[in-house]
Structure 1
Amino acid sequence: MVRLGLLRRRPLLHVATDRGSGPVVVLLHGIASSWVTFENVIPLLDGRHRVLALDLLGFGGSPAPDDAAFTLDDHAAAVHRTLRRMRVGAPFVLVGHSMGALIAARYGAAFPRDLSRVVLVSPPIYLAPSAIGDPLDRAAMELYLRAYGFLRENKEFTIRAAGQLARLSPIKDLLDVSDDNWRAFVLSLQRSIESQTTVSDLAAIRVPIEIVYGTLDPFLAPAGIRIAERLRGVTSHRVVGGDHVIRRRMARVVATAVG
């Protein structure tokens, strides 16, 4: 469980979208992004759900406290405090994309009574390379971790590369790495993605878990996905030709997974 002291210290997050009526669906974006991640999903849900899209701690319009460690517990506690302050009633559906999927899994393990369903979209489920038997999978995991270390240690390169990718993105303002959010980016990458608890968190969740991912997602670790798919209560939805971004075709699959 998330420590109560940590929960009390976490600030309120920016609620970027609160629209529609009906059962509540909460949307959590990924690292270096914002609520716009779900611009293709929200119109498919708000006719039958109350849809809340939050900006995560340190990103979008949300604060980045000096004492935040940007661990999964930090992120989950900030989400929980925000929803509690809004008096969002349980149970609700929690949807996370990329790092937001890892936060959703942590939230589900920490606050099990809050949720009716968890939907993980494009989840980067990583394991320690030493825990992977297959040599190819182990090498792929090592490559991911080395790449992330390079991004953290080369600020100017990372900001420039993120800017170039943002200009190519099909969703405006989807990616933002800058001086303003650099600390949140680096620590979230290191402490929420590279050092994660996702497999054990998923094993602890007692509500249905839906995993949606594209077959061409460059951030997907096959070893992690295979383990997650074998866990109790997990249903997978493969989007053939889909990548890491929630384009319209993937958005329809996400909306179906929400129910």
Structure 2
Amino acid sequence: MTWWATGNRQSRLRRPPLLHIAADEGSGPVVILVHGIASSSVTFQEVIPLLTPRHRVIAIDILGFGQSPAPDGCEYLLEDHVSSLAVTIRSLDLREPFVLVGHSLGSLIGTRYAALNRRGTLRGLWNRLTRHGGVSRVVLVGPPVYLSPQDIGDPRVRARVAAYLRAYDYLRTNKDFTLANAGIISRLLPKGIFEITTDNWTPFVKSLEHCIESQTVVSDIASLHVPIDVIYGALDQFIAPGSMTVIERMRHVTMHRVEANDHIIRRGLARVLVRVIEADGAAPAEPAASGSR
């Protein structure tokens, strides 16, 4: 049971905290942007100006990062992230379906939100949070898809994913090493793109362990009936080669590979993302910029 659910048993007033809305610009069909771990809505700085001429664009900082709250006692389970996203989206009082875009950890959060919203199997608080608006499409950017190694048949992919998971465990258990190297990387990037500090250390390690190392994204994608686009850079250092094969084979999923791009949403990937969002029926982006299955 999550920290806020436990509180709800003791007090009806306790609710998942509202997240910081970093941008709400433009008019037209709504696009909601959800960034990833150790980051902020600055992630989408190349995307927002391209979308606002034709869309209302809403960028939200996830729980524990950016300017969103980091509540004491929070375990940063996927449910914690999703519940805060749900109350925040509900506070917008959206009446029309929207496109939900997630980057990195945000793609895992967004997919889980869409899956639970669709199922409608949970009662009480969840139904009240999600009854307004609905997800019409899901766009995942650089999703870190890691099945449990024992569930991966291909020995080469199994070894790669296991290596990634060991690396994440090392980062979590070696704080000084992680903070020192994160500081070097963050100085090379725009402020807010990648930051691991003593202030967000707890949200970082708990989100890494509870949401990325242990995740539900494959089953969540499989449960959805809306179109899903997956966009990733050919040089994305957080995607284990072969790890996305399982979702590539799903009929409602379209893959878009962006050459010469890593995990960060740079200008080339931003243009592909915008074309995918604006494409009718989730058509593939231009062949020169990306490939699709």
TM-score (norm 2): 0.84
Alignment match of 2:187 (pick from 133, 150, 167): 167
Residue 246 of structure 2 corresponds to which residue in structure 1?
Answer: 227
Q: Which runs of 4+ in 1 moved over 6 A?
A: none
1:223 CA displacement: 3.2
**Contact map agreement 1:203 1:232 (CA 8 A) in 2:** no
What SS does structure 1 have at the residue aligned with 2:187?
A: helix
Alignment match of 2:208 (pick from 189, 198, 206): 189
**Relative contact order higher in (CA < 8 Å, ≥ 6 apart):** 1
Tell me how far apart the structure 2 counterparts of residues 251 and 228 of structure 1 sit (CA, whole Å).
22
Q: How does 1:1-259 map to 2 (within 5 A)?
A: 5=5, 9-112=15-118, 114-169=134-189, 171-259=190-278
* Structure with max Cα Rg: 2
Tell me how far apart the structure 1 counterparts of residues 218 and 156 of structure 2 sit (CA, whole Å).
20
**Contact map agreement 1:24 1:49 (CA 8 A) in 2:** yes
Q: Report the more deviating stretch, 26-35 or 217-226.
A: 217-226
TM-score (norm 1): 0.95
Tell me how far apart the structure 2 counterparts of residues 89 and 150 of structure 1 sit (CA, whole Å).
44
1:250 CA displacement: 0.2
Tell me how far apart the structure 1 counterparts of residues 77 and 243 of structure 2 sit (CA, whole Å).
20
- Kindly, what percent of the aligned residue pairs are identical? 54
User: For 1:199-223, what per-residue CA distance to the aligned partner results, in whole angstroms no more than 9, with x for missing partners?
Assistant: 0000011110000001111111233
Tell me how far apart the structure 1 counterparts of residues 233 and 175 of structure 2 sit (CA, whole Å).
29
- Letter aligned with residue 209 of structure 2: Q
Tell me how far apart the structure 2 counterparts of residues 242 and 214 of structure 1 sit (CA, whole Å).
5
What SS does structure 2 have at the residue aligned with 1:53?
A: strand
Tell me how far apart the structure 2 counterparts of residues 55 and 154 of structure 1 sit (CA, whole Å).
26
Structure 2: any 5+ residue segments left out of the alignment? 9-13, 119-132, 279-293
Tell me how far apart the structure 2 counterparts of residues 56 and 193 of structure 1 sit (CA, whole Å).
14
- Letter aligned with residue 176 of structure 1: E
Tell me how far apart the structure 2 counterparts of residues 81 and 210 of structure 1 sit (CA, whole Å).
25
Tell me how far apart the structure 1 counterparts of residues 173 and 96 of structure 2 sit (CA, whole Å).
41
1:241 CA displacement: 1.8
Q: Which protein has the bigger helix share?
A: 1
| Residues paired across the two proteins, number | 256
**Contact map agreement 1:41 1:252 (CA 8 A) in 2:** yes
